[in-house]
Amino acid sequence: MRVKWIGHSCFLLAPGGSTLLTDPYDAGSYPGDLLYHQVDLSPDYVTVSHGHADHAGVRFLGGSPHVFDVPGEFEAGPFHIRGVATHHDSAGGSKRGDNIVFVIEAGGVTVAHLGDLGHKLTPDQAAAIGLVDVLLIPVGGFFTIDAATATEIWQHLGPPPVTIPMHYRNEKCRFDIETVDPFLEKKPAVERSSASEICLKKEKLPAKPKIVVLDPAY
């Protein structure tokens, strides 16, 4: 499975052949704050965790991808997709609405994309997500869980063999949120990569959990 960080919360998953894109952003939705280049890919499938413009820019994609934007269980080519209902805030969605955590399995590798999760997981939600190989987790806070809550969820879910942080402040995201650094503090096995992607095989996953900070492709 090839996992490529496009930018923000957008990743391209490619087990070979078909491709799936998570949370494509509208690059023009937050002028001066969201500076990633516009996504111009033509994936076969797309997951959308919620309807905000920096996560639901499907109209900019090429082709005619099949879009998954509701909780449930789905088969899509080589992908088995499970959408788990959560919230965008810690007040039951009353502030920012709902959010879907998508658990995506293909080629023997299971990836959990937490979207704009805004609260600690309930026991039922954690059980529905289950054990995963790759965790794509927001860490910037304010709009999503912060570093401390992300750390708690990271621990609760394993930690998984590979964790990739997303949705944090950097050169191309100037939202008033934290950088990735608070999440990385005091954690072992942190790898800062100059690449935008990582290739994983089930039989070659790290024996000990590691956190990989990718460089956005766009």
Residues 149-188 have pLDDT tens digits of: 999 999 999 999 999 999 999 999 999 999 999 999 999 8
pLDDT category, 201, cuts 50, 70, 90?
A: very high
pLDDT at 129 over 90: yes
What pLDDT score was predicted for residue 189? Answer: 94
Work out the average pLDDT over 119-136: 97
pLDDT of residue 66: 98
**Phi, psi angle pair for 212, to nearest 5°:** -115, 120
pLDDT tier at 62 (50, 70, 90 boundaries)?
A: very high
Mean pLDDT (whole number) for 79-85? 98
Q: Which CATH class is domain 2-213?
A: alpha beta
What distance lies between CA 140 and its chain's CA centroid?
13
Q: Give the pLDDT mean for 8-23.
A: 96
Confidence at residue 151, expressed as pLDDT on a 0 to 100 scale: 98
What's the pLDDT at 16? 87
* pLDDT surpassing 90 at residue 17: no
Q: Indicate the domain borders of the chain.
A: 2-213
**Is the pLDDT confidence value at 44 over 90?**
yes
Rounded-to-integer distance, Cα 17 and Cα 62, Å: 17
Put simply, whether the predicted model's pTM sits higher than 0.95 gets the answer: yes
Look over the chain and give the mean of its residue pLDDT values, rounded to a whole number: 96
User: What average pLDDT does the segment 95-109 reach?
Assistant: 96
pLDDT at 194: 95
For the chain, strand residue ranges (E) read 2-7, 10-16, 18-22, 45-47, 66-68, 72-76, 79-87, 98-106, 109-113, 134-138, 162-166, 190-192, 197-199, 210-213
